[in-house]
Amino acid sequence: MPIVKCDECGRGFNLHEEQYGKVKCKCGAILHGPKGGATGDRASPPPVATNLTDMEAVKHLKDAYEALRQEIATVIVGQDKVIEEILIAVFARGHCLLEGVPGLAKTLMISTLAKALDLSFKRIQFTPDLMPSDIVGTEDIQDDRSTGERVFRFIKGPVFANIVLADEINRTPPKTQAALLESMQEKSVTVAGTQHNLSLPFFVLATQNPLEQEGTYPLPEAQLDRFFFKIFVNYPSDEEELEIMKRVTMPSKVQIKPVLNGEQINLLQEIVLRVPVADHVYAYAKKIVRSTRPAMGEAPDFIKNWINWGAGPRASLFLILAGKARAILNGQYHVACDDVEAVAPSVLRHRIACNFTAQAEGITTDKVIEKLLQSVPKTEKLTTAPVAVS
């Protein structure tokens, strides 16, 4: 519901569209609705038109990104980097794995995002006794009242939602973890030989707890590779924690206003794909990924000493896609090497494996990636920005 401001006195009102021109302000002026889009402190961007030029599309997506961040910030304190990376994954059609200790508002962050995007949301609590049918759904025998015969009817599981929160995904056995594989890659599930398509857009945002690893089932590499990003959720700063304490322990009537909807997100995802990438940026992303593989000749010595295996080709694809999304969300018309460098840790940290030598020296995958990014040179930046191609 947009905020309508009175032209005479400036008072703000929450009005439905059918109320425009029918409601009076206290000063006596008629409220005619927003002009040029919703007004107010957190204005929603106008609907996405299908005939936008590339320049207009970039501006619209940047405005939508800023509106989303402002709306989510009414509930979530801090975590700006995490929110940015989740939104990059959303507009690049990727799934995310969030890792952090309990109590960092991972679940609240994802449910708030679903409200701001006006998407359906389901939460699955992964436990050791969870079965695949509890996720994808099952067929049930029911009586057909018209014929009196018994028929099979498919009952959809919680995976049939736009945003699925797989909470503590490492708490359930591999058989159940694998139930998400088809839905994540193919956007469909198959039950009793029948394929059921999921509604788009579709995102899996999984969380895992790095503590209490007894009784957990680490995700296999094949499923880890399906996740676009692995995002670390860290503790809030001193000021942020104080703000959280004040905000949560007081009465609150904050309501999240939808900024986008599913149809608009699908259109904006197409805009992201149209962002051009120069050859030297492709070469930079390729060099980063190939340098993570110890058996390759271009791998530096510290990779050969610390890494068991490196990232596969999917990492190269995701570096470019994430770079495109980051560039356009920041209002750029092309991808720079800096965009690829910024998203590299979240793309690579779950796609490379440190060996025993690295673990004994206290070397983590993030330290390896940091050193790798310092060793891979960036090519000369373009002096003129290329124009996006429709």
Q: 122-167 pLDDT, tens per residue?
A: 999 988 888 888 888 887 777 777 777 777 778 888 888 899 999 8
Name the pLDDT band for 40 (thresholds 50, 70, 90).
very low
Average pLDDT for residues 70-82, to the nearest whole number?
A: 87
Where are the domain boundaries for CATH 3.40.50.300 in the chain? 50-248
- Largest CA-CA distance found in the chain, in angstroms, rounded: 77
The region, left, alpha or beta by phi > 0 then psi within -120 to 50, assigned to residue 379 is: beta
Q: How do residues 248-261 score in pLDDT, each as one tens digit?
A: 888 877 788 888 88
Q: How many CB atoms lie within 10 A of CB 347?
A: 30
Indicate whether 45 pLDDT > 50: no
Q: How does pLDDT run across 6-15, given as a tens digit for each residue?
A: 665 566 666 6
DSSP reduced 3-state for 163: strand
- Max mean pLDDT among 13-27, 176-190, 194-208, 332-346 falls in 332-346
Mean pLDDT of 226-231: 92
Q: In whole angstroms, what is the distance from residue 271 CA to residue 275 CA? A: 7
CATH topology of domain 275-375: Helicase, Ruva Protein; domain 3 (1.10.8)
CA dist 114 and 256 (Å) reads 10
Tokens standing for residue 300: 């530096």
Query: Per-residue pLDDT averaged across 71-75, rounded?
Result: 86
pLDDT at res. 215: 64
User: How long, in residues, is the chain?
Assistant: 390
* pLDDT reported for residue 285: 94
Mean pLDDT, rounded, for 75-102 = 89
**Tens digits of per-residue pLDDT, 362-388?**
889 999 999 999 988 886 554 444 444
Q: What are phi and psi of 204, to 5 degrees?
A: -105, 120
Q: How confident is the model at residue 314 (pLDDT cuts 50, 70, 90)?
A: very high
Spatial separation of the C-alpha atoms in residues 320 and 347, rounded to whole Å: 10
Q: Which residue pairs from 103-108 have beta carbons closer than 8 angstroms and sit at least 24 positions apart in sequence?
A: 104/79, 104/233, 104/234, 104/235, 104/236, 105/76, 105/79, 106/207, 106/233, 107/165, 107/167, 107/207, 108/75, 108/76
- Within 13 Å, how many C-alpha atoms sit on residue 158's CB side? 17
pLDDT value for 43: 44
| Mean pLDDT over the full length of the chain | 81
b/e code 7-37 from CB counts within 10 Å (16+ = b): eeeeeeeebeeeeeeeeebeeeeebeebeee
Answer whether CATH 3.40.50.300 is correct for domain 50-248.
yes
Segment 9-12 long-range contacts (CB within 8 Å, at least 24 positions apart)? 12/39, 12/40
217 exposure class (CB count in 10 Å sphere: 0-12, 13-18, 19+): middle
**Segments of the chain assigned to CATH 1.10.8.80:** 275-375
- Residues 6+ positions from 255 with CB-CB distance below 8 Å: none
Distance, first Cα to last Cα, the chain: 33
**What is the secondary structure of 319-387 as a DSSP string?**
HHHHHHHHHHHTT-SSB-HHHHHHHHHHHHTTT-EE-HHHHHTT--HHHHHHHHHHHSPPPPPPSSPPP
According to DSSP, residue 98 is labeled E
Q: Name the more confident of 56 and 316.
A: 316
What's the rounded mean pLDDT across residues 188-199?
83
DSSP state of 13: E
Q: Is the pTM of this model over 0.85?
A: no
- Concatenating the DSSP letter of every residue in 186-236 gives HSEEEETTEEEEPPSS-EEEEEE-SS--TT--PPPHHHHTT-SEEEE-PPP
Measured from the Cβ of residue 346, the count of other Cβ atoms closer than 10 Å reads: 25
Tokens 């009465």 map to which residue? 251
